[in-house]
Amino acid sequence: MRGPHNIWRLIRTGATFERTGAMAQALEAFDAPPAARIAARVLGWPFQWIGLEGDPSQPPVLRAITALGPAYIKFGQLLSTRPDVVGPELANELRVLQDKLPPFSVEEARATIESELGQPVDAIFSEFDPPVAAASLAQVHRARLRETGQVVAVKVLRPGIERAFMRDVDAFYFAASMIESLAPFARRLRPRAVIEHFAGVVEGELDLRMEASAAAEFRSNTEHDPGFRVPAVAWAASGRRMMTLEWVSGIPMGDVDALRDSGADLVRLSERVIQTFLTHALRDGFFHADMHQGNLKIGPDGAIVALDFGIMGRIDAYTRRVYAEILIGFLHRDYERVAQVHFEAGYVPRDRDPAAFAQALRSVGEPIFGQDATRISMARLLGHLFEVTERFGMQTRTELILLQRTMVVVEGVARSLNPQMNMWETSRPVVTEYIKSNLGPAAVARDLANAARILSRIGPRLPQLAEAALVQVNTPSPKSAARAIPGWAWGLGGVVLGAGLVALGALLG
């Protein structure tokens, strides 16, 4: 499906922005240069008649995004958390995309539930209310389980959403291919790999069985975290296109006035949002990757309550350590170490100059420190960072896309509570604690113990493996003579090392 027919979709996207008046507003919000504004108007004006009209009662950008469909709405949700990038007025307009989109009918929701569970809705729920929130992919109903009387939240996918979303993603794939073909300098950003990653995440979000599983795992990881809560899954009332969780009361994170009126400490709350996210990412390697205001509440006990687990991120232990070392290097202004970590992890080609890269990183990091957050332009900072990565040939790391994106979203949420919040200083305690726990002598001993436990499982096979290595050494071949001693040494060394690690594991574990 990723053929030239997608040109029409992309042209219609630009035409929709022009027809609704969103093009001018978007270019203004992103502070585009005059040449770009003129070019966009000249190219967009002749085609505006083919653009979607949207809802004339909505502001221009919101009108264009909602008319274009779910994939564009997802992007708008991200921008709604970044008033420092798009301006407070546009960010506030786009916040509607988080959970205040037009709902679909209760009858359609009931039909979906009955199809998924094979029972009438009234046999499962004694109460089933109209939707209380509607987002790009699904809407939520308040209900009561007939069997237990528990109040629950029932999430139901929009009818036909799977096909609509993948049609948009298909056009994104085509655009990425065109970019890689026509702009070779952009290939290092791996646009097709980025879209592939995005599509994989969304496909998981469109199967609510996977979301229910993610919610259960996230709840298990965080059940002992003070001041943070994840609602429990009602598995018997969940399926592929609908999911049931316990109902959670509280004040939406986006309602800053209500939070202030409730007596909440907004400064401390902004810090908790950042530190909670970093704790989950670094400690567990499993984090909520869609932490905008619409997916967060403050419960009656003051706990942060997470909702909507369709987009979750994972990072392995090695990547977590690399990421933490980069963060702590920036926090300590040790740009040489930050550069070294980038080279060690293979993020920067080895033919580049580490000293020059460290100097470039200093030019990115230094403007942050000692500055009031309101004086830092995140848009200009990201632009500068992009220039640095381009200059040094860094490729986009698809495994870090969700982590980077979520950091941007979480910082936007925190700044909506406290515009003076400095993310770097707020991150320091969590990152420092992680470094102490995972990069010191205790961490080395723990890694050796884990290796020993793995080797202990194959311990009974070590003599057999050593014998096979010796047989291979003693079997002549044209090239074996030169490798005889290293092979023999490797076989014996493996046995000795394995025995030593097994003993160490027994002592430590």
Catalytic residue numbers?
Answer: 290
For residue 100, CA distances in Å to 361, 497, 507 come to 40, 61, 57
Cβ neighbours of residue 196 closer than 8 Å, sequence gap 6 or more? 173, 398
Identify whether the C-beta of residue 256 lies closer than 8 Å to the C-beta of residue 417. yes
**Six-digit token pair at 35?**
């040449």
**208 within 8 A of 175, measured Cβ to Cβ:** no
H or E element that contains 178:
helix 161-182
Measured over the CA atoms of residue 434, residue 428, residue 269 and residue 278, the dihedral's sign is negative
Report the DSSP beta bridge partners of residue 288. 312
Contact 430, 438 (CB under 8 A): no
> CA-CA distance, 199 to 399, in Å (whole number)?
13
Q: In what order do the strands lie in the sheet with 304-306?
A: 228-229, 304-306, 296-298, 251-252
Lookup result for tokens 């010191």:
440
Strand partners, 153: 142, 245
CA distance 120 to 473: 70
CA distance 25 to 18: 10
CA distance 455 to 251: 51
Task: Determine contact, residues 296/273, Cβ cutoff 8 Å.
Answer: yes
DSSP structure class, residue 368: T
Separation CA 414–CA 408 (nearest Å): 10
User: Whose CA is closest to 248, among 227, 230, 272?
Assistant: 230
Distance CA 341, CA 187 (A): 23
